[in-house]
Homo-oligomer: A and B are copies of this chain.
Amino acid sequence: MSHRNFKMIGYVVYGRGSFNQLDDIIKPHRKENAPMIFFVDHYFEGKDLPKRIQLRGNDKVIFVDVTDEPKTKYVDRLAAELKDEFGTVSGIIGIGGGSTMDLAKAVSLMMNNPGSSADYQGWDLVKFPGVYKVGIPTLSGTGAEVSRTTVLTGPTKKLGMNSDFTPFDQIVLDPEITANAPANQRFYTGMDCYIHCIESLTGTYLNEFSKSYGEKALELCREVFVTKDTWDAECDDKLMMASYAGGMSIAYSQVGVAHAVSYGLSYLLGTRHGIGNCIVFDKLEEYYPEGVKEFKYMVLKNGIDIPQNVCKGLTDEQFNRMIDVSLGMKPLWENALGKDWEKKIDREKLRELYEQL
């Protein structure tokens, strides 16, 4: 058996107010006349956060549109525009949630790799290192800050650029900048971490490395969403570490039924990852009885709305497309149900599940 050799991010700074150190941190990576490019989630347009970025020389802030999850053609366009305008850049800094960080990673890679990002959707296809890249999460839970992928929707598939060139050179974990996230969004994104941990810890893949990280992430999610009665600075601190630990736990684990089913949803309906996982997990008592019970309690306690009836009125053909996408996620099903997973889930059962969503 061969164990994955896991590429780590280069540097991590964690602390309240560490966002203010950004200018110093990126300084040694500046190249003459090549700007630093700040991808900022469009949610922050007109808000305070972008004003705190220290722009130097021809640096540029680009508010990225993450209404939909990143598409390969958007990545290609951003990279082409930067090449046209600057030739090369010193680095790309992604400030936002998982989509913004994934965009930053993908565009960094496409500054130095020929063709389209769609050519690199898969495992270890990227040929050259990208430009210097920094991830700064403003929402906690995705784990994108430490992952070796960047989830992209391409012309033929939704799949990341998985490679050792993909992880960030630097991440800045400043819980202060997550403080004002909208409560619903914060919950959905936090649950990305919680659900991932339930799936991996109850799965058939797992070793002590991923277990340690997964258990810690789960514990921190519980402190935040179960134990605490009001949201405070400590919650931001802990959820940020939950996200980091949840992301690290991916090294030797795999997600399960919720992710496999929600990929179908997001492929067909464009449902975003965090909320999609919540919609699905809400109906998975059969597979994760304890986790779903706790999830429902957290939903109630935190006063969150989980959308219902999202599959109402879909055609047979649409259901079939979701089922095709979901059953294609073989490692997820195997992790959740074991090597003989195909005996335990079939199209009919999956159709029933989708109809409940």
Q: How far is the CB of A1 from chain B (nearest CB, A)?
A: 6
What is the 8 Å Cβ interface bit string for chain A, positions 141-161, against chain B (1 contact, 0 not)? 000000000000000000000
Q: A15-B1, A17-B1 are contacts. A209–B10 as well, Cβ < 8 Å?
A: no
A14/B207 in contact, CB under 8 A:
yes
B11/A10 in contact, CB under 8 A:
no
A18/B6 in contact, CB under 8 A:
no
B8/A8 in contact, CB under 8 A:
yes
A238/B208 in contact, CB under 8 A:
yes
Q: Does A126 contact B (CB under 8 A)?
A: no
B240/A173 in contact, CB under 8 A:
no
Within 8 A of B (CB), among A203-226: 207-209, 212, 215-216, 220
What is the 8 Å Cβ interface bit string for chain A, positions 237-279, against chain B (1 contact, 0 not)? 1101100110000011000000000000000000000000000
Instruction: Return chain B residues, CB-CB under 8 Å to A245.
Output: 212
Q: Does A13 contact B (CB under 8 A)?
A: yes
CA A240 – CA B237 in complex, angstroms? 27
Q: A10-B7, A17-B1 are contacts. A212–B207 as well, Cβ < 8 Å?
A: no
Return the contact of A13 from the options B3, B9, B21 (Cβ within 8 A).
Answer: B3
Q: Does A4 contact B (CB under 8 A)?
A: yes
A5/B11 in contact, CB under 8 A:
yes
A15/B241 in contact, CB under 8 A:
no
Q: Does A2 contact B (CB under 8 A)?
A: yes
Q: Does A25 contact B (CB under 8 A)?
A: yes
* Residue of B whose beta carbon sits closest to that of A146: B8
* Residue of B whose beta carbon sits closest to that of A215: B216
Q: Does A353 contact B (CB under 8 A)?
A: no
CA A84 – CA B83 in complex, angstroms? 48
Instruction: Return chain B residues, CB-CB under 8 Å to A234.
Output: 208
Return the contact of A18 from the options B3, B14, B241 (Cβ within 8 A).
Answer: B3
* Residue of B whose beta carbon sits closest to that of A240: B208
Q: A9-B8, A212-B241 are contacts. A14–B25 as well, Cβ < 8 Å?
A: no
Q: Does A12 contact B (CB under 8 A)?
A: yes
Instruction: Return chain B residues, CB-CB under 8 Å to A238.
Output: 208, 212
Instruction: Return chain B residues, CB-CB under 8 Å to A3.
Output: 13-15, 17-18, 21
Within 8 A of B (CB), among A2-53: 2-15, 17-18, 21, 25
Q: A3-B14, A13-B4, A25-B5 are contacts. A216–B212 as well, Cβ < 8 Å?
A: yes
- Beyond A1-B17, A2-B21, A215-B216, 19 additional contacts (C-beta under 8 Å) are A1-B15, A3-B13, A5-B21, A5-B170, A6-B14, A7-B11, A8-B8, A12-B209, A14-B251, A15-B207, A15-B209, A15-B252, A207-B237, A208-B240, A208-B241, A209-B244, A212-B216, A212-B238, A216-B216
A-B contact pairs, 5 of them (CB 8 A): A6-B13, A7-B10, A7-B11, A15-B207, A207-B237
